[in-house]
Copies of this chain bind each other. A is one copy, B any other.
Amino acid sequence: MQESFTSAFTHIRDGTPAMVDVSGKESNKRTAVAQVRVELGSEIIRRFENNDLQGPKGPVLQTAIIAGTMAIKKTSELIPFCHPLPIENCRFEIIPDAKGLVIRCEVTTTGKTGVEMEAMTGASVAALTVYDMCKAMNKAIRILDLHLVSKTGGKSGDYQASIP
C-alpha cells in the first residue's frame, strides 16, 4: 500500500497550487482598470450633500475611496498567489445615476506582472465599504458586475473589455 501513495505523491508539484514564476520577466509600467456597480436604491442615492453621500456613519464615498486605496496595497495579502508589487498610483472615479453608483478603480505599477487583481480588489473593497456605510438604511444593496475594464503593459498585450 505504501507504494501506491508514494507514486501518487510523486506528482504532488503538478496538481498543487503555486505562484506564477515572474523572476525572468522584464519590469515595465503597467496599468489596470476595474469597475463595479453598487445598486443602492433611490432613497439612499438622494442623500447627496457636500460632494458626497451622507450616510449614518459619515461620508460614504470618501470612506470607500480610502478603504479601496488601502485594500489595493493589501492585495497580495488577500489573494494567495498574487505577487507583491510597488503601487505607484491609484485613482477612483465614481459615477452616480438614479439608482446607484459605478465605481471605477485604476492602478499603476512598474513591475514584472500586472495589477489586474489590485484594481479588482480596490473596486471590490470600495463597494463593500459603500455597503457597510449604508446597510443600516438598506440591507438589500447589491454589488453588481465587477469586471476588468482594461489593462496595459503586459507581454501578452493590452486588454480592453468588450462592451456587453
A residues apposed to B, CB below 8 Å:
1-2, 5-6, 8-9, 11-13, 15-23, 29, 36, 45-46, 48, 50-51, 54, 57-59, 61-63, 65-67, 69-71, 73-74, 76-98, 108-112, 116-117, 120-121, 124-125, 127-129, 131-133, 135-136, 139-148, 151, 159, 161-162
Contact = CB atoms under 8 A, between A and B. Distances in A.
Q: How many copies does the complex hold?
A: 6
Contact of A87 (B84, B95, B128): B84
Given A89-B22, A144-B144, A63 B17 contact: yes
A46 B1 CA distance: 9
A139 B124 contact: no
B77 A74 contact: yes
Q: Which of A8, A46, A96, A131 has the most CB of B within 10 A?
A: A131
Given A50-B50, A51-B12, A94-B12, A71 B78 contact: yes
Given A15-B51, A79-B125, 20 more contacts: A6-B97, A9-B95, A11-B51, A12-B94, A17-B57, A18-B91, A50-B50, A63-B80, A69-B80, A69-B81, A79-B128, A86-B112, A117-B131, A117-B132, A120-B128, A124-B143, A140-B147, A142-B145, A143-B147, A144-B146
